[in-house]
Amino acid sequence: MNPLVLWVTDRGREVAERLCARLAAESARYRRDLVEEAFLRKRPLVFIGACGIAVRAIAPFLRHKSLDPAVVVVDEAARFAVSLLSGHLGGANALARQVAEILSAEPVITTASDVRGLVALDLWLRELGVEIGDFETVKRLQAELLARGSLRVFLEPPLSVELPAGLVPATEEEADLRLTYRRDPGAFHPRCLCLGLGFHAEEEALPAKVRQILRQNGLAEEAVLLVATINRPGREERLKELARELSVGCALFEGEALAETDPPSPSRAAEFLKLPGVAEPVALLAAEGGPLILPKQSADGITLAAAVHRRLAR
């Protein structure tokens, strides 16, 4: 969302105009209702003026770091761009650097991880697609990272990502932080699973059956990235309904693409289908060549296979 630049004085307006000429942003004279609306919409704010004015303006609307928008403050002389609020999750640190570059100002970043050159866990986890529900745990882990200078991380094979500064690989037993696609209430779940599905167009209980197979095989619903199937009449709407239910993406693949795959468990109906199968080939295609971690499983008329997207797999 484009930032809103608020100014108080005529000199501040001049800085706002300079900024908006280069930044895709709107500007307006400061009003309390504009600040309230920006917080409701989680719209980034840039204040031109004193930090004290900005602090008083935003104070009534502060909720939580996961909900508050980025707030950056620029002095009227355009010498400094201060990341004031939501430096990581809201993107204020990045916005402050962008604003500083446009105005030839000095970015002021005070978040401890940036000052120490260590990773911001909340931002890194979000980049992996993790939906953070327990911010207190992330806060505790960040404090441990800052205190010790390192944090031990376990990646469930075949997950493989480059660990940023301060994070070191570890076994599951010794890890401080675990990343997995398996059901584990104490771990974090990156969005990495691509589900290949075979089902009839008239299937009514697709979400329930998919969840059943995931539970039976110990896979976390929170780790699902994409659901996919073969492009056949009547299946697209069912697939979209499932994607909406799981809050994930969806994809359809043509039979010609499935025919070029080499799944580990070819379908018994391969001769009839003229294809090596549906669930496993679709999962492999959706994962863009990432490894299959769940061979096809069946439940009450549907078939499901799961692969880890190659972006997060070795």
All residues at 6 or more sequence positions from 141 whose CB lies less than 8 Å from its CB, including other chains: 121, 151, 176, 177
Within a domain: 115: no
Whether 32 and 64 map to the same domain: the answer is yes
Within a domain: 188: no
| Residue whose token pair is 């980034």 | 44
Whether 202 and 307 map to the same domain: the answer is yes
Would you call 289 exposed, middle or buried from its count of C-beta atoms within 10 A (0-12, 13-18, 19+)?
Answer: exposed
* The predicted structure's pLDDT at residue 273: 61
Whether 200 and 245 map to the same domain: the answer is yes
pLDDT tens track for 5-51: 999 999 999 999 999 989 888 999 999 999 999 999 999 999 999 99
Q: What is the CATH number of the domain that holds 212?
A: 3.30.420.180
pLDDT tens track for 107-160: 998 876 676 777 888 889 988 999 988 888 988 998 999 899 899 999 999 999
Q: Give CA–CA dist 189/179, Å, rounded.
A: 6
Strand order in the sheet with 193-198: 249-253, 224-230, 193-198, 302-308, 292-299
pLDDT band with cut points at 50, 70 and 90 for residue 106: very high
Given a cut of 60, whether residue 166 has pLDDT beyond it is yes
Whether 127 and 221 map to the same domain: the answer is no
Within a domain: 187: no
User: Is 178:189 a contact under the CB 8 Å cutoff?
Assistant: no
Strand order in the sheet with 177-179: 167-169, 151-155, 177-179
Which of 179, 204, 222 marks a domain boundary?
179
Whether 165 and 200 map to the same domain: the answer is no
Q: 234-257: string of b/e by CB count within 10 Å (b at 16+)?
A: ebeebbeebbeebebebbebeeee
Nearest to residue 309, comparing CAs of 293, 255, 209?
293
Q: What is the CATH number of the domain that holds 26?
A: 3.40.50.11220
The rounded radius of gyration (Å) of the Cα atoms in the chain is: 24
Q: What is the pTM of this model?
A: 0.73
pLDDT tens track for 168-208: 999 999 999 999 999 999 999 999 999 999 888 777 788 99
DSSP-assigned letter for residue 87: S
Whether 250 and 150 map to the same domain: the answer is no
- Count of domains for the chain: 3
Within a domain: 83: yes
What residues are paired with 198 via a beta bridge? 303
User: Is 154:177 a contact under the CB 8 Å cutoff?
Assistant: yes
Within a domain: 84: yes
Whether 149 and 78 map to the same domain: the answer is no
Within a domain: 247: yes
pLDDT tens track for 246-292: 999 999 998 888 878 777 776 665 555 667 788 999 999 999 989 99
Within a domain: 28: yes
- Residue 158's domain comprises 121-179
Within a domain: 186: no
User: Is 311:191 a contact under the CB 8 Å cutoff?
Assistant: no
Whether 32 and 70 map to the same domain: the answer is yes
Would you call 162 exposed, middle or buried from its count of C-beta atoms within 10 A (0-12, 13-18, 19+)?
Answer: exposed
Whether 246 and 211 map to the same domain: the answer is yes
Whether 200 and 219 map to the same domain: the answer is yes
Given a cut of 90, whether residue 307 has pLDDT beyond it is yes
Task: Report the run of H or E that residue 303 belongs to, with start and end.
Answer: strand 302-308
Whether 297 and 210 map to the same domain: the answer is yes
Whether 198 and 307 map to the same domain: the answer is yes
